[in-house]
Amino acid sequence: MIQLLLETVRRYAEAHASGTGVARMPIPCLTIIRETAPTALQYAINKPLVALVLQGGKRVTMGNRTFDFGAGESLLITADVPTVSQITKASLNAPYLALIIDLDLALIEGLVVEIGFSPFVADTPIRVGPTETEVTDAALRLMRLLDRPASVPILQSQLIRELHYWLLSGQHGGAIRTLGVIDSHAQRITRSVALIREHFAKPLRVEHLAEVARMSLSSFHEHFRTITSLSPLQFQKQLRLIEARRLMLAEGEMISNAAYAVGYESISQFTREYGRMFGLPPSRDIKAAKTRMNPAAESISGTRHHSLCSPQ
């Protein structure tokens, strides 16, 4: 079953993946990631998702915990948490391939009510384990709809629902179920996180976020850190820095423009905090990232550089 899903995903990715290795699909909750070589470190604050790894290997770090996983395994993220990830195993002949499923919180909430009482687990927002047969089978049938485009709007909803059901019924069901427990701490924090995501470039009033979550200020701070591993202000800062990096790398924005766009008023503060998070100041980090993305051009550039300068 996993081999059939791999072949189906591989065909679609080879035909539709962009230069950044991402293949979007007409089924909104699905995305394919394809990489033909190991990558540099990638920083993100992910929304809840499941990643079915079909080929290659990846490493994800959250705080002081590191997860290594590969073909036949799945990564589950059940909260908006900051991660540092890296594709560790990929080649031109055997690219890294993963099918990403965005979890639908409203769908989970409805299924939790229908399934009835079951225990839920809220200890860690990241988990790794073998991909279960029922999940693979539902994902394969969902992918096969793409071969018959007319079937997608008619059948996708019930297959997405089935996929969520098997995820809830599987080994990590207790962790996913926390997302569907009405008015749970996880749901309350999710509301405040959505507000931060929407207005991350604006000044943040933690008191307002606590009101949105319907918690006291002390309780809000405690549960926010438990669920996301960060304080609200740290969460906002990381969102700002990740978005600024994207603006400079993907859209070619100048450092000052990117800093102001994400809410910084001081370039020196932006540069200082950027360096703490990414390990290099903005100009050097973006240059290094672009070099990794275009090694052939750097090879030419490097040859010219050394022909004009004395050896270091």
**What CATH number did the domain enclosing 243 receive?**
1.10.10.60
User: Looking at the 3D structure of the chain, how many domains does it have?
Assistant: 3
| Residue 242 falls inside a structural domain | yes
CATH number of the domain within which 21 lies: 2.60.120.280
Please tell me whether residues 171 and 302 are part of one structural domain: no
Please tell me whether residues 175 and 187 are part of one structural domain: no
Please tell me whether residues 18 and 83 are part of one structural domain: yes
193, 210, 229 — which closes off a domain? 229
Burial 90-120 (b: 16+ CB within 10 A, else e): beeeebbbbbbbebbbebbeebbeeeeeeeb
Q: What is the pLDDT of residues 189-240, one digit of tens each?
A: 888 999 999 999 999 899 999 999 999 999 999 989 888 888 999 999 999 9
Please tell me whether residues 140 and 203 are part of one structural domain: no
Please tell me whether residues 101 and 147 are part of one structural domain: yes
Does residue 273 have a pLDDT over 80? Answer: yes
CA distance linking residue 302 with residue 285, whole number of Å = 17
| Residue 293 falls inside a structural domain | yes
Please tell me whether residues 102 and 212 are part of one structural domain: no
| Residue 312 falls inside a structural domain | no
Q: What is the CA radius of gyration of the chain?
A: 21
| Residue 139 falls inside a structural domain | yes
pTM of the entire predicted model = 0.79
Tokens found for residue 191? 């509301």
Per-residue confidence band for 152, with pLDDT thresholds at 50, 70 and 90 = very high
Please tell me whether residues 143 and 197 are part of one structural domain: no
| Residue 175 falls inside a structural domain | yes
The per-residue pLDDT for 123 is: 64
Percentage of residues in the chain having pLDDT higher than 90: 64
The per-residue pLDDT for 33 is: 96
Please tell me whether residues 204 and 122 are part of one structural domain: no
Please tell me whether residues 171 and 292 are part of one structural domain: no
Please tell me whether residues 51 and 189 are part of one structural domain: no
160, 179, 198 — which closes off a domain? 179
Q: Could you tell me the residue range of the domain that residue 193 belongs to?
A: 183-229
229, 244, 261 — which closes off a domain? 229
| Residue 131 falls inside a structural domain | yes
Please tell me whether residues 56 and 139 are part of one structural domain: yes
Per-residue confidence band for 245, with pLDDT thresholds at 50, 70 and 90 = very high
| Residue 202 falls inside a structural domain | yes
Please tell me whether residues 40 and 145 are part of one structural domain: yes
